[in-house]
Structure 1
Amino acid sequence: MEIQHVKKYFLSNNRAVKAVDDFNLVIAKGETVGLVGESGCGKSTVGKTIIRLLEPTAGEVYFEGTNIYKLSHTKLKELRKDVQIVFQDPYASLNPRMKIEDIVGEPLDIHRLAKGKQRKERVAELLNLVGLSPEHANRYPHEFSGGQRQRIGIARALALEPKFIVCDEPISALDVSIQAQIVNLLKELQEQMGLTYLFIAHDLSMVKYISDRILVMYLGNMVELSDSQSLNSEPLHPYTQALLSAVPIPDPTVKRERIVLEGDVPSPIFPPSGCVFRTRCKHAMEICALEKPKWKEVKESHFTACHLY
């Protein structure tokens, strides 16, 4: 998937809220790109805009060479077979009045892929795939735990055998013990089915574990992109450094200086001039207020937008 200059603005009191501002990314087949940043920085908006659950303000997205934003309603429905999403809240994304069989089978009905016995078998197969029993098909969502519901959400996303899945914070509503199971499940499914993921999350240690590359966002802007290893060992952007300093290290002998950011995240309605992070950055210089930093490759395959480089 190739994402070029995607913007998504919302109107609030006749002012534009720049939820996503000039987002660019190329995701290779079979790759997992982690997207991190604090709440409200535009991660979920990116996920929903690139697959056109939200209509973009500007930009282009190409999936296997096809421009998603130019597709008619009928063609977009066809594309849904290849591009799916796993939602953040497993309690809100499953219809409480539908049985599991109908929730997982719904994509098959919409695309007329299976009926009757065939549909039953396919649903059983999908439930097996995500570690649930086919007997669960006749139950309702309230009879399951959060982790099980998220598995049902994943089964529904896999029903059409997609190639690309947006995982929109699929573990943030779950217990820590269950989070690892879901992440391991996603990794296994990726190996079995050759899936490509955009994995959106807060938890940097989980993102490091599942992602090949990690992209950091702040207030609707991209601030750093690199492979998982070098982003964790040598973060360039002051914001990434602060995020990583907050991740606990399970070794009491290792001392890491905690970088505490001053102040709050500015409002996206009135973002700071120049660099959006400058109001909370201890390295802020005069140029930071005047000029938006350019996105550049500082080391091999390690990009950042910061005037320090």
Structure 2
Amino acid sequence: MATRLVEVQKLKKWFPIKGGVFSTTVASVRAVDEVSFFIDQGETLSLVGESGSGKTTTGRTMLKLLQPTSGKIIYKGKDISKLTPNQMRPLRRNMQIMFQDPYGSLNPRMPVGDIIREPLDVHSIGTRKERQQAVATMMETVGLRPEYERRYPHEFSGGQRQRIGVARAIIINPELLVLDEPISALDVSIQSQIINLLQELQQRLNLTYLFIAHDLAVVRHMSDRVAVMYLGKIVETADNDELFDHPFHPYTQALLSAVPVPDPDVKRERIILQGDVPSPINPPSGCHFRTRCPYAMPICKEQEPAMIEVAPGHTVACHLLTRK
């Protein structure tokens, strides 16, 4: 039996828009709107979707780097959504994040050894000598030479800087790691090195990943399960092979049709979505995808589709599945 590590239930994160003389709330950006999913110990759940769909906000809200508007975040059976920053502090050792920008996420005024050691200092782990040894060991683990620890971030390549980010995230032995598009800013040749490093570390340290990405070829290689997001909502969730082989939601089908096939004899029909992603300030009524869906029906405008299980572990939110 898999051990449930984290579960989010109807998670919302709305950003208020202020206006008027008294700065009252006139509208809200519905970045994350009643999102639910779970991640078991040691598995990788990938969160995919177009830019602006709410993937990064979901990951940061799950870690409480952003305070949720409503909903529950259940970590190892305990609801942490209402905990204060001081109450969250002991849990920070178990939940870390790796940011998208391998340069902007590193302090340019700190040597990389200090950057990697900082989590140990913050959580008062070990003696000074033990921390120094842990930094040297961790740098070797992620493929960096320990003698580089006095160098500064600008002296490293993009791939090396991302390795520094990996070392900083895992040096305190977390259980859950949010990977926020960790390879999107890297060259293709370097992307494969970072992906292989993350998979090796996951097996060695029994890490659990929330992998946020939009490169579906990488997602298929990396994931155990996949959740597809559109305009702040999850529209389909399934095991990795099940989702790629049998996509049900029209949005998922459109995303997968854009993935290149490394075989010149295989022809895949490209599905081109019309129009732009609607504003999260004023999303469409009913199904959020209906304004771009080639199969939209009148009910799609009137009623939001419920999640339906179409196969074991495969859920979809689409009225096409209930049409008689």
With the shorter chain as reference, the TM-score category is over 0.9
> Which amino acid is the alignment partner of residue 293 of structure 2?
C
Matched-pair contact (CA < 8 Å) for 1:51–1:68: no
User: Which residue number in structure 1 is paired with residue 250 of structure 2?
Assistant: 238
> Which amino acid is the alignment partner of residue 130 of structure 2?
Q
Q: Is the partner of 1:278 in helix, strand or coil?
A: coil
Say if 2:106 is the partner of 1:101.
no
Say if 2:49 is the partner of 1:44.
no
> Which amino acid is the alignment partner of residue 88 of structure 1?
Q
User: Which residue number in structure 1 is paired with residue 192 of structure 2?
Assistant: 180
> Which amino acid is the alignment partner of residue 100 of structure 2?
Q
User: Which residue number in structure 2 is paired with residue 84 of structure 1?
Assistant: 96
1:135 pairs, out of 147, 165, 179, with 147
Matched-pair contact (CA < 8 Å) for 1:91–1:149: yes
The percent of aligned pairs where both chains have the same amino acid is 58
User: Which residue number in structure 1 is paired with residue 13 of structure 2?
Assistant: 8
Q: Aligned partners of 1:68, 1:168: CA distance in 2, in Å?
A: 21
> Which amino acid is the alignment partner of residue 42 of structure 2?
G
Matched-pair contact (CA < 8 Å) for 1:19–1:42: yes
1:236 shift after superposition: 0.3
Q: CA RMSD in A?
A: 0.9
1:224 shift after superposition: 0.4
User: Which residue number in structure 2 is paired with residue 192 of structure 1?
Assistant: 204
Q: Kindly provide the CA deviation profile for residues 181-204 of structure 1, in whole angstroms up to 9, marking residues without a partner as x.
A: 111111000000000000000100
1:2 shift after superposition: 1.1
> Which amino acid is the alignment partner of residue 246 of structure 2?
E
Runs of 5+ in structure 1 lacking a partner? none
Q: Kindly provide the CA deviation profile for residues 90-137 of structure 1, in whole angstroms up to 9, marking residues without a partner as x.
A: 111000000011100000111111333221111001111111111111
> Which amino acid is the alignment partner of residue 40 of structure 1?
G
1:64 pairs, out of 76, 93, 106, with 76
Count residues with an aligned counterpart.
309
Counterparts in 2 of 1:215-230, with a 5 A limit?
A: 215-230=227-242
Q: Is the partner of 1:80 in helix, strand or coil?
A: helix
Runs of 5+ in structure 2 lacking a partner? 1-5, 19-25
Q: Aligned partners of 2:290, 2:86: CA distance in 1, in Å?
A: 45
Q: Aligned partners of 1:269, 1:81: CA distance in 2, in Å?
A: 35
Q: Kindly provide the CA deviation profile for residues 232-287 of structure 1, in whole angstroms up to 9, marking residues without a partner as x.
A: 11100000000000011011100110000001101111111100000001000010
User: Which residue number in structure 2 is paired with residue 117 of structure 1?
Assistant: 129
Q: Aligned partners of 1:83, 1:166: CA distance in 2, in Å?
A: 8
Say if 2:87 is the partner of 1:75.
yes
Q: Is the partner of 1:256 in helix, strand or coil?
A: coil
- Of 73-82 and 219-228, the range deviating more from structure 2: 73-82
What is the TM-score of this pair, normalised by structure 1? 0.98
Q: Aligned partners of 2:174, 2:78: CA distance in 1, in Å?
A: 16
User: Which residue number in structure 2 is paired with residue 290 of structure 1?
Assistant: 302
Counterparts in 2 of 1:147-158, with a 5 A limit?
A: 147-158=159-170
Q: Aligned partners of 2:79, 2:140: CA distance in 1, in Å?
A: 35
Q: Kindly provide the CA deviation profile for residues 17-36 of structure 1, in whole angstroms up to 9, marking residues without a partner as x.
A: 11000011111100100000
> Which amino acid is the alignment partner of residue 41 of structure 2?
K
Matched-pair contact (CA < 8 Å) for 1:109–1:115: no
1:75 shift after superposition: 2.6
Q: Is the partner of 2:32 in helix, strand or coil?
A: strand
> Which amino acid is the alignment partner of residue 303 of structure 2?
E
1:73 shift after superposition: 2.6
Q: Aligned partners of 2:83, 2:296: CA distance in 1, in Å?
A: 43
> Which amino acid is the alignment partner of residue 158 of structure 2?
G
What is the TM-score of this pair, normalised by structure 2? 0.94
1:257 pairs, out of 259, 269, 282, with 269
Q: Kindly provide the CA deviation profile for residues 163-219 of structure 1, in whole angstroms up to 9, marking residues without a partner as x.
A: 000001111111111111111111000000000000000100101101000000000
Q: Aligned partners of 2:13, 2:100: CA distance in 1, in Å?
A: 20
1:71 shift after superposition: 2.3
1:296 shift after superposition: 1.2
